[in-house]
Amino acid sequence: MAARPIWKGQLRLSLVSIPVEMYAATKTGARISFRQIHGPSGKPVKYEKTVPGVGPVDAGDIMKGFEYEKDQFLLIDPDSVEEIKLETKKTLELVQFVDACEISPLYFNKPYYLVPADDLAEDAYRVVRDALRETRMVGLGQVTMRGKEYLAAVKPCGDGLLLETLHYADEIRDADPLFKDIEDDTSDGDLLEVAKSLITRKTAAFKAEAFKDNYTLALRDLIDRKTKSKSTRRVSTDDSSEDSGGTGANVIDLMAALKQSLAKAEGAKPASKSESKTESKAKTQTRKAPASRKAPAKKKSA
């Protein structure tokens, strides 16, 4: 299946605009994921939005709450938030350039590939790529996606360009309070030389493929063995056949369920003894009543 761009627009450098497309640079399917299955029934576990003492609630009744003080929330209608969302701008303008080593790794968030949208855009695209490569600079700008504005850095990557979203300054936690208790004494000279020798001995070019996710490999091996084993329990799930009322494996608020059950029990009137005897006698007679049958047809005489 061909990759689909998550953003289309213009990469602008001064008066030059280059049609580009943005693609995610990382894959989410590389890691193994599980679904929670209810062991006794073999059905998938569902999750409902519930309120203590109320139970399951409708999505239309949910509002956004901003905690302005401890346990104090300001209620905001979701439509009000939607109204202020930025329209997806179709232009990423490079407004500043910085040295590639000047941005701390703390700021980098998520990588994307920027590619020319068509053959006509390739010439200008290559010019920007080569200019950034030769000057060893990174272009900075802001891009709007899904109603939010992101700070972005654009730099050469192989034959193309890589865009990395950056955290804003107020999103980075100050490290000084965490490091303040670490003494700033000079390290022992002999120990320092040994450490530097170890670093020199293990210095090599970075190759990501040299590192393996051992947990995922072990997990895949476990799944393979379980798949081949006939003793592994298997279940077949069909969401469409599940109770539409939200019972069974759905996680609901226990207190709400108990209160609802109590209310139903109190609302039901107990039948009187005479009514119970009458109902019992009627049911007995109904069960004993023989089913009507047709009389067998008489044989015609010869």
Q: Residue 44 domain-assigned?
A: no
Retrieve residue 242's tokens. 């599940």
Burial of 200 per CB tally in 10 Å (0-12, 13-18, 19+):
exposed
Retrieve residue 11's tokens. 């990469």
Per-residue tens of pLDDT for the chain, all 302 residues: 578 899 999 999 988 899 999 999 998 766 777 888 888 888 888 888 888 888 888 888 888 898 988 988 888 888 888 888 777 789 999 999 999 899 999 999 999 999 999 999 999 999 999 999 999 999 999 999 888 899 999 999 999 999 999 999 999 999 999 998 888 888 888 999 999 999 999 999 988 888 887 877 888 888 888 888 888 877 776 655 444 444 443 334 455 555 666 666 666 555 444 444 444 444 444 444 444 444 444 444 43
How far is Cα 109 from Cα 39, in angstroms, rounded to an integer? 38
pTM of the model: 0.64
Q: Residue 26 domain-assigned?
A: yes
β-pairing, 108-116 with 160-166?
A: antiparallel
Q: Residue 105 domain-assigned?
A: yes
Retrieve residue 51's tokens. 């309120």
Q: With residue 116 as reference, give the H or E element that holds it.
A: strand 108-116
How far is Cα 6 from Cα 25, in angstroms, rounded to an integer? 11
Residue 75 CB contacts under 8 Å (≥ 6 apart), including other chains: 63, 64, 65
**Are 22 and 162 in contact, with CB atoms under 8 Å apart?**
no
- Residues of the domain holding 162: 7-31+85-176
How far is Cα 242 from Cα 37, in angstroms, rounded to an integer? 14
Contacts 24+ apart (CB under 8 A), 198-204: none
**Are 246 and 53 in contact, with CB atoms under 8 Å apart?**
no
Domain CATH code at residue 94: 2.40.290.10
Q: Residue 209 domain-assigned?
A: no
How far is Cα 206 from Cα 238, in angstroms, rounded to an integer? 47
Q: Provide the 3-class DSSP secondary structure of residue 14.
A: coil
The domain tally of the chain equals 1
